[in-house]
A and B are shown apart, each in its own frame.
Chain A
Amino acid sequence: MCSIDGTLLDFKYLDRLADGDTAIHRLDPRAKVLVTLAFVVSVVSCGKYDLTALFPFFLFPVFMITLGNIPGLYLAKKIAIVIPFAVMVGMFNPLLDRQVMLQVGSLGITGGWISFASIVVRAVLTVGAALALVAVTGFPGICAALERLGMPQPFAVQLLFLYRYIFVLTEEGGQMARARELRTFGARGRGIGVYGSMIGHLLLRTWMRAERIHMAMLGRGFSGVFHTRRQFCFGVRETVFCLGWGLFFITARLVPVAHLLGTLVGF
């Protein structure tokens, strides 16, 4: 029950983070989207046993989070919620891959454990980067950026519509669920019969709402495109941002930074 409201609040909170006004927020969304995609691809392209090669990549999410003034703890909690699938699948690696790859004293660490750790680290990195991107750019910004980068226009309109009505409809759904909860006793009334007609009603109401929206939009001269006054400029800052991070990702992929540091200290 309160979980629906909780989810919605959480969602709104993440959405509102994008209203910030920091140097990162002010960057052109296209630069942020491109760099984040490059980041995800470089992280994912690391070999499955290259655990330490992944560590330098933490710099990017940390940079976005700190400069974008995003609460790190909140993001960490969100990351922790979604990791289980990767962990569940990765858990089989230690069982199936038992070749010892590293001896620390008498403790032999198998390849399975290393690749398991690398899966978890990858999950943290990729999920963290995606969430940081939303938090510093905002959904409309990402849509606009993707549209400028070649996403088909009907799909962009669809994404913006969806985004606008998610809040309205989830609130309505939450109200319906609460009303049902208050009228049920134990499991009675929570079965599929009530559920079917309840969601069916929500669906029909949604459908009629869409027709009203359409008429209202026609009345205001909608022609299939959202017109926004958003200004795009891919200037020096964006170029530096893209080139800088691009170079960093390539370096981090090619040079074993962690290993060099370790040798430097004398291990």
Chain B
Amino acid sequence: MPAVTETLETVQSVTQSGYKWGFETDIEMEMAPKGLSEDTIRLISDRKGEPAWLLEWRLKAYAAWKEMEEPHWAKVWHPPIDYQDIHYYAAPKKKPGPKSLDEVDPELLATYEKLGIPLKERAILAGVEGAGAEISAAPGIAVDAVFDSVSVATTFRATLAKAGVIFCPISEAVRDYPDLVRKYLGSVVPVADNFFAALNSAVFTDGSFVYIPKGVRCPMELSTYFRINARNTGQFERTLIIADEGSYVSYLEGCTAPMRDENQLHAAVVELVALQDAQIKYSTVQNWYPGDAEGKGGIYNFVTKRGACRGARAKISWTQVETGSAITWKYPSCVLEGDDSVGEFYSVAVTNNRQQADTGTKMIHIGRNTRSTIISKGISAGRSNNTYRGLVRITPRATGARNYTQCDSLLIGDQCGAHTVPYIESRNPAAKVEHEATTSKIADDQLFYCRSRGLSEEDAVNLIVNGFCKEVLKELPMEFAVEAQKLLAVSLEGSVG
């Protein structure tokens, strides 16, 4: 039997044996009735105590959405989604804060434990009264855990507050920093930008808000753990990050989700705004439930992520490691408005079994001497399909603009697909655009070469895949690099290596 076939079988047996992070938390939920209407939106807005302008904004998005059609240009397929068969609001029932961890719902704690959240942080996340104070001085990562739709708690607020950094659930930001939210919300991704962004704008329930003041280098990595946790609850996160002039922030987003049978819709929107000389580094490790080996279940991840470099020399850098979800539809993009601004996109997308990924980026060069770099690594195994789709647009004003794109695909087995769809539009003769693409297979002779040196087949695949992704993995912050390698090992060891 050829080595690759055997690997795949090994891998499939591992995958089928179970999704490692597939657990479900049974917590009392308050849910809105199924379906989407103006009433649902009014209910969400009311539950969150929102100002009138935001309700109007939502209703405008809803009106636009009703007129729009689900996009079908991506190389993915799914059965029709019944948007009226989804709960658009679910929140853990509010009780007065527990006095100690003993009073916290053990299910919730167990979830945190499975997520690997340190004990002290668990207390804060669970909302234990007074738990935050003692560790506020600890260096490290600030976590704003989104437990389903409501941000349960935010940590490290004190350290951040000292630096003037605002890091809080977006619902709180609406209340506490309405001017900032109103100024920037929807300014990068307008309410009617696309079908899923319009849906998100209408019904988003929570997400994170970050503001870094002028000249401030955020003193720690910011991190959010998103979890999809309620049965049949679509999750609509809304994230807004603003880096004021000369500031810097690195934001880490990591995801795991419980195992379940029904497909779940996830349509998040992330907006980044980098003003003059500001830098935003946004890193994602996405490991949502991909469905079983036959393609049953799994998350539909239809996300709109976009950043705007609004001033000269601003820089936005996206790094993503996408291993999960049944379907990924995601194009983190940069609008390079400021002169000399820089956009970067580093991506590893892994698909196995019946997973489908259509992901890439858009680099819109508007300012002079704007530069962008795109490095995309797609890995397909099983019967999956993996598509890179990217747009590089050079507008007439963008004299001296430069882009470098590299798209590499790695195939494992002979039943998967890799596709590269680059769109290049240059309307300025003084711009330079480079595109390189390769497609390769993990060859039997590579595996045999490694095995003849003593490596197990699984280690061999791992080594080859990690080598293939190296240029992207090295862009991840240290905190994520290890987790990402582990994920590749699990989903690729379970799917490739």
Q: Do A and B interact? A: no
